[in-house]
A and B are shown apart, each in its own frame.
Chain A
Amino acid sequence: MYSFLVRFRESVPSTTLILMKKASILMILGALLLTGLFQFPLWNIMLGAPQYPEPLGMNIYINGIQGMNEFDIQNIDGLNHYIGMKIIPKPNEMWEFTVFPIVIGSMAALGFLIGLLGFFGKVSYHWFLGWLVLMTILGIMGMYDFNAWMIDYGTNLDPNAIMKLQNPDGTPMSYKPPLFGHQKLLNFDAYSYPRLGGYLMGLGMVFTLIAYWIGKRSKTTN
């Protein structure tokens, strides 16, 4: 990164203005990458087992949950009924699926506006960092909420469930899928990782960080 910036500084007339314009474009791009979440899933959970050579999977979008294959959600619900899990929520059954699109849309618009104002020299690069901090706080809140939902989903079970399994210490077994990574749940291997929309969001946030960096550089080069 440093050598890139050095070359950048050597090849381009090192004026504040041009560096700030570059940083602003990066800020705009970073903010726009968030909109990928309207098209692509944020997160993905896959469930594989010996009798499911083609694993069941669900894609978590900001506005709802969809199966990897058409009938995956129905089949996951079918399996979950044995252990008394609730059925996977429909979009209108969780406030998150209404609020998340508004939050993401607003943040993308806000980031775009900040970038635009930065480009025309109306705001400083500090705004870039401000946006990133806000986005990070919202992201952590989102993850916390997601995890809380999964804890509820995996532990708040129907008392009349067909199978009531316990841990070796006698506590009821939790079926909470992992927030990130792999976990064995009975005969199932559960894998939980970000999906394209999530990666685009991450990339967008990295872009805004770089934008902040370049903006900051523009001051020091002066």
Chain B
Amino acid sequence: MKKYKFQLLSLFGALMLLTSCGNNNGQNTSSGALNSSAAEKVYVAPGEHDEFYAFMSGGYSGNLTVYGLPSGRMFKEIPVFSQFPTSGYGYSEETKPMLETSHGFVPWDDSHHPDISQTNGELDGRWIFINGNNTPRIARISLSTFETEEIIEVPNSAGNHSSSFVTENTEYVVAGTRFSVPIPQRDMPINEYKGNFKGSLSFISVDPEHGHMDIKFQIIMPGFNYDLSHPGRGKSHGWFFFTTYNTEEANSLQEVNSSQNDKDFIAAINWKKIEAYVNNGGGIKVPANYAHNVYDESTHSATSMMKKEVLTVNPLDVPGAVFFLPTPKSPHGCDVDPSGEYIIGNGKLSADLTVHSFDRMLAAIEAKKFDGEAYGIPILKFEDVLAGTVKSGGLGPLHTEFDGKGNAYTTFFISSEVVKWKLGTWEVIDRKPTYYSVGHIMVPGGNSRKPFGKYAVALNKITKDRYLPVGPEMEHSAQIYDISGEKMELLYDFPTHGEPHYAAGIPASILAPKSKKLYRLDENKHPYAVTSPDQARVERKGNEVHIYMSTIRSHFTPDNIEGVKVGDKVYFHITNHEQDFDVPHGFAMIGQNTSELLIMPGQTKSSLWEPKQVGVWPFYCTDFCSALHQEMQGYVRVSPANSDIELSWSLDGD
């Protein structure tokens, strides 16, 4: 009996052990060793810095946001194509010209594809370019000030989507049209699209010293949709590749009518050949009207100029420069591997990825093995240029990036996943879900000769339940994966602002050391700058009143102004006299029909105020600049229009 009792006890004990074992196992999978290491991998301790910068396009915000990787912390929103009341961009007198176009002032755009300047096919961190999709424009942003320095409008384009990708030495930033249009624009029936509409591919030269952009030539292509593009690199440097869809040239219900052809094309452009043709006087100059807006760092001001002519090239005039590579199923992303050999067409209505070989393409061109032509442009045979097909089992491939170790990472929108596969063998190595419906993926330097293959960031279109709900509209979601091992590991989710399409990443070690801390006051060439407080003054020119004002912690000079009248146009020109890192001053005037200004140390910004009511109206500093920020204020006395009060100004009664 005793023995039996003992056996029963031990059986009970064994059961306890088993159940507890089971519980422990369960915990291990949900919050055990694996997950804690994921947390460590994205944890950047307080005061420490991230390893990479990530520049996320803002999509319909029109801007560009700067994040750190792996932490996913947002550092800055850089205003590009949209007015930005936070800093006064697009509101201040100096920056209004940045948003001028041939359609007048356009306060918004849809920014898509940031690309960092390159030297010898590697990221050099001088500038980042981004396209405005809606009113076709390309912007250049300085990577020492992280401010937009230049915007050029692209004529003869619509839906500026296969943009803004740079060639290997930033010779060109390239912009292609998604929507073909009549070139030149004219009044014609829409249903005469086929054969009449054209697509333009613009090669915008970049001055190697200042980065200034100029449209060198536009190739006027058949009326397809030019969706995405990437440059050749290494051995394929000198070529550019564009995916196309709607080779059906449908003009309505494209959803169905552009999806009928089994294969569309990748257009391969030998731009070096066209460049030589143009340099020898080739091409046709046609009238155009497009804005070129340049911001000067020393005057802190932008100017806008309308350009009236553009050089166009008919591809048929340059034999051997343009070819079509048949590519299945309305390809979206067009990506070139770090070696320059493989051109990947991400057939978005397909399960498979088509990979073309640059060498095979050249051989087929050499042998003149053409399979007909489209509007006179030779079509190569699919089998002759194909390097391989990735049978992924996913659905809806969109974009591919590379890790520099022979692997590629492709996003699948429809099946919500990232698939890792091997270049050359086309075998699938790993697949991981994304949350949800991923668009682009970004590996820092992942579309250059030298990727930094440590992290991949998936930029998702649909967020749903990933974060606490905030009503019907959710920010988009990004996911960061560790791709340093054989298998990808999902590390972290973080929300992103606007709708990031593409993104560009770069090691912090390249950018951080040259990030500017302030603007030098002694280099300020703004015409309304005051470089010492004793130059502060108020001047009247008719009904314009110009207030030359300076700021330093914590007062405005002058801070009492009288003699302003109803109906005046009052310009506050404010110079921040601080010469210390991260000490901006703000400026806001009660009732002003514009945004505030945020003025960086050494900078001058101007704001227009048109007082409509008699009274004494205060202004103040909007940036908590010091312990006496609350005291940083002043008054303007506004008298009736017929008043004879003289202009006067003072600080502390002087």
Task: Give residues in A with beta carbon < 8 Å to B.
Answer: 54, 70-71, 74-75, 78, 82, 162
Contact = CB atoms under 8 A, between A and B. Distances in A.
Interface in B547-582: 552-553, 578-581
Nearest to B518: A71
Nearest to A74: B579
B107 to A, nearest CB: 36
B628 interface: yes
Interface residues of B, number: 9
B628 A82 contact: yes
A175 B187 CA distance: 78
B579 A75 contact: yes
B627 interface: yes
A78 B627 contact: no
Given A78-B552, A78-B553, A71 B580 contact: yes
Contacts, number: 16
Nearest to B626: A82
A75 B580 contact: yes
Contacts of B580: 71, 74-75, 78
B183 to A, nearest CB: 53
B602 to A, nearest CB: 10
A74 to B, nearest CB: 6
A122 to B, nearest CB: 54
A75 B581 CA distance: 10
Interface in B505-552: 518, 552
A70 B518 CA distance: 12
Interface string B622-649: 0000011000000000000000000000
Contacts of A82: 627-628
A109 B273 CA distance: 74
16 contacts: A54-B581, A70-B579, A71-B518, A71-B579, A71-B580, A74-B579, A74-B580, A75-B579, A75-B580, A78-B552, A78-B553, A78-B578, A78-B580, A82-B627, A82-B628, A162-B628
Given A71-B580, A162-B628, 14 more contacts: A54-B581, A70-B579, A71-B518, A71-B579, A74-B579, A74-B580, A75-B579, A75-B580, A78-B552, A78-B553, A78-B578, A78-B580, A82-B627, A82-B628
Contacts of B627: 82
A54 B581 CA distance: 10
Contacts of A162: 628
A39 B579 CA distance: 26
4 closest A-B pairs by CB: A71-B579, A75-B580, A74-B579, A78-B553
Nearest to A81: B553
Contacts of A71: 518, 579-580
Contacts of B518: 71
Interface of B: 518, 552-553, 578-581, 627-628
Which of A54, A70, A75, A78 has the most C-beta atoms of chain B within 10 angstroms of its own C-beta? A78
Contacts of A74: 579-580
B320 to A, nearest CB: 57
Nearest to A53: B47
A78 to B, nearest CB: 6
Nearest to B628: A162
A39 to B, nearest CB: 26
A75 B518 CA distance: 13
Contacts of A78: 552-553, 578, 580
B193 to A, nearest CB: 61
A74 B602 CA distance: 13
Contacts of B579: 70-71, 74-75
A123 to B, nearest CB: 53
Contacts of B628: 82, 162
A75 B580 CA distance: 7
A162 B626 CA distance: 12
A166 to B, nearest CB: 18
A70 B579 CA distance: 9
A10 B518 CA distance: 64
A33 B552 CA distance: 43
Contacts of A54: 581
A71 B552 CA distance: 14
Nearest to B582: A51
A49 to B, nearest CB: 13
A153 to B, nearest CB: 21
A71 B579 CA distance: 6
Contacts of B553: 78
B532 to A, nearest CB: 12
A54 B518 CA distance: 15
Which of A54, A70, A82 has the most C-beta atoms of chain B within 10 angstroms of its own C-beta? A82
A124 B552 CA distance: 62
A78 B581 CA distance: 13
Which of B518, B578, B580, B628 has the most C-beta atoms of chain A within 10 angstroms of its own C-beta? B580
Nearest to B631: A162
Nearest to A51: B582
Nearest to A71: B579
A77 to B, nearest CB: 10
A78 B576 CA distance: 13
A91 to B, nearest CB: 19
A74 B581 CA distance: 13
Contacts of B552: 78
